[in-house]
Amino acid sequence: MKKLTLFFLVLCAFFSCTKKEDQFNLMEGLLIKNARIISTEDLSISEKSTIVIEKNSIIYIGNNAPEISGTYQNIDAEGQYVIPGLIDSHVHVTGTDGLSEEEEIANPSIVKNYRTQLPKSYLYFGYTTLIDLGTTKPKRLSDFNNATVKPDLFYVGGGAVIGNGYGLSNWKDSIPNFIYQEDENYPIPEKYLKENHTPEAVAKRVAASGAIAIKTYYEPGFDPSQPPMPTPSKELMEQIKTEAHRNDLVLVVHGNSTKAHRFLADAQVDIVAHGLWNWGDESLGEDNQIPMGVAKALDMEVENNIMYMPTLQVINGLNSLTTPEFLNDAELKNVLPESLIDYYKAHTESKYLEVFGDAPRDMIQRSFNRISAQGKAALNYLYQKNAKILFGTDTPASPTFGNPPGYNGYLEMTEMVNAGIPLGTIYQSATIKNARAFKLDSLYGGIEVGKRANILVLNQNPLEDISAYNDISIVIIQGKALDRESLSALRN
Ligand SMILES: [Zn+2]
């Protein structure tokens, strides 16, 4: 052994082969010069850094000019800002925004164009990592993953809904990972075996599917005139949490009412997948004061370290059905095929009817504006208390054209600004905080050696103006640099 070391030492003395740390012979490389990198940890900005990427990984960051040879592409980021790709931790890639299954069948070319564009639309707005929080169609996940240019996609392996509860009322849907809760009013249909639908069996199956989290629901329903749908008991939620953690899965739970948030805070779940905007009988005080019941639920979430996804665009997305002029927003042309925008424009009336029936438009608007304000007030309250805020849009949240892929993330960020959330907090929520929450931070959430080369080059500083996220110059995905405009639906 000693002899061998000596031999190498001698050899190196002659040929000066000590490999300098900043010397790279690249295969499929990318070199970014003059980068002002914004740290996701402390928001500091480095000057004139050099980033070296090989294949899909960052292999060097420093202030020296490393010696590079081999095959690589140069990017000079002089005057620009370099940040990690954004993470949207609440999407559903299942369907075609706002189209029912029947409409999808009747319009195959629109659906085909939409699916081809979908991954690019997320990238167009800088979302290079997505977490699908529940789909009944695993094939759509693999279709999405088969695209040549696409964000990195993680998933929860089908919603672990509560038997006959929200998402599975009347057992009418086939959701293989539902969890059965004993209830004499809702006995499990004979075709299912109870033992396949315990938290233990479901968590095992979800983990085996390659999922990173388990998603379940606390949702008694949205229609106060209807009897409440079954929700999990405290004991059941405890079991789900135990089994999720035993299988190294993060526990994400749907809930948006005061009751749900209080229940989930008390149960100490990992993440609540929606903001608290459904305040029941309570409302904002005259001086924008949060009412007592809501404040108590939010306080408990802070105390118990619950991570909170505001998903402000859920309500705005629905509300845009009342304002079809939303479809004239020029930005839509970058993320949706023109044929789909035209289809929406021709069906604004029927889309409204589908969701709101014959309820008057101004009444719906007033009500949704109030709910949206409640969501923002709750978010601001949590921010003031230093709560753990994640970034998730729930795209698309409902059968609406109001949650367009990619652009919905930008609209969500804009709403967070409207809620009084500082740009630094928004930046961290959509990067390192999301990555840590879902245990993806070894590869995502920052620009560091060893991390995935998913990077954005921005023309403006996102810590100064939110519009920087809509002023992207280059999107680097898995080490491949793409001109932003090449991702636009106008080009495809
Ligand atoms: Zn969702």
| 5 found inside a domain | no
Question: Do 355 and 479 fall into the same domain?
Answer: no
CA 254 – ligand 1 centroid, Å: 8
CA 311 – ligand 1 centroid, Å: 9
- C-alpha span between 142 and 79 (Å, rounded): 39
Question: Do 79 and 155 fall into the same domain?
Answer: no
Specify the pairing of strand 67-76 against strand 23-37.
parallel
Question: Do 318 and 410 fall into the same domain?
Answer: yes
Per residue in 429-439, is it b (16+ CB within 10 Å) or e — as a string?
bbbbbbbbbbe
Per-residue pLDDT tens over the stretch 15-54: 444 445 688 999 899 999 999 999 999 999 999 999 999 9
| 2 found inside a domain | no
- The C-alpha R_g of the chain, in whole angstroms, comes to 24
pTM of the model: 0.94
Query: Angle 414-395-355 (CA atoms, 0-180°, nearest 5)?
Result: 105
Question: Do 478 and 431 fall into the same domain?
Answer: no
- C-alpha span between 251 and 199 (Å, rounded): 12
CA 402 – ligand 1 centroid, Å: 14
CATH of the domain at 421: 3.20.20.140
Q: Indicate the number of domains in the chain.
A: 2
Specify the pairing of strand 127-132 against strand 86-91.
parallel
pLDDT of residue 170: 63
CA 167 – ligand 1 centroid, Å: 11
Question: Do 57 and 184 fall into the same domain?
Answer: no
Q: What Cα–Cα distance (Å) separates residue 32 from each residue in 19, 87, 147, 415, 455?
A: 21, 22, 26, 32, 10
Question: Do 213 and 327 fall into the same domain?
Answer: yes
In which domain, by residue range, is 457 found? Answer: 12-84+447-491
| 245 found inside a domain | yes
Q: What protein residues have CB closer than 5 angstroms to ion ligand 1? A: 394
Query: Angle 246-252-253 (CA atoms, 0-180°, nearest 5)?
Result: 120
Contact 162, 178 (CB under 8 A): yes
pLDDT of residue 185: 84
Q: In Å, how far from its chain's centre is CA 322?
A: 25
CA 95 – ligand 1 centroid, Å: 12
Per-residue pLDDT tens over the stretch 368-379: 999 999 999 999
CA 134 – ligand 1 centroid, Å: 7
- C-alpha span between 376 and 454 (Å, rounded): 30
Question: Do 261 and 319 fall into the same domain?
Answer: yes
CA 319 – ligand 1 centroid, Å: 17
Question: Do 36 and 146 fall into the same domain?
Answer: no
pLDDT of residue 2: 45
CATH of the domain at 470: 2.30.40.10
CA 303 – ligand 1 centroid, Å: 25
Question: Do 178 and 60 fall into the same domain?
Answer: no
Q: Which residues of the chain have pLDDT under 70?
A: 1-21, 158, 169-174
Question: Do 90 and 56 fall into the same domain?
Answer: no
CA 55 – ligand 1 centroid, Å: 33
DSSP-derived letter for residue 328 is: G
CA 411 – ligand 1 centroid, Å: 16
Terminal CA-CA length for the chain: 60
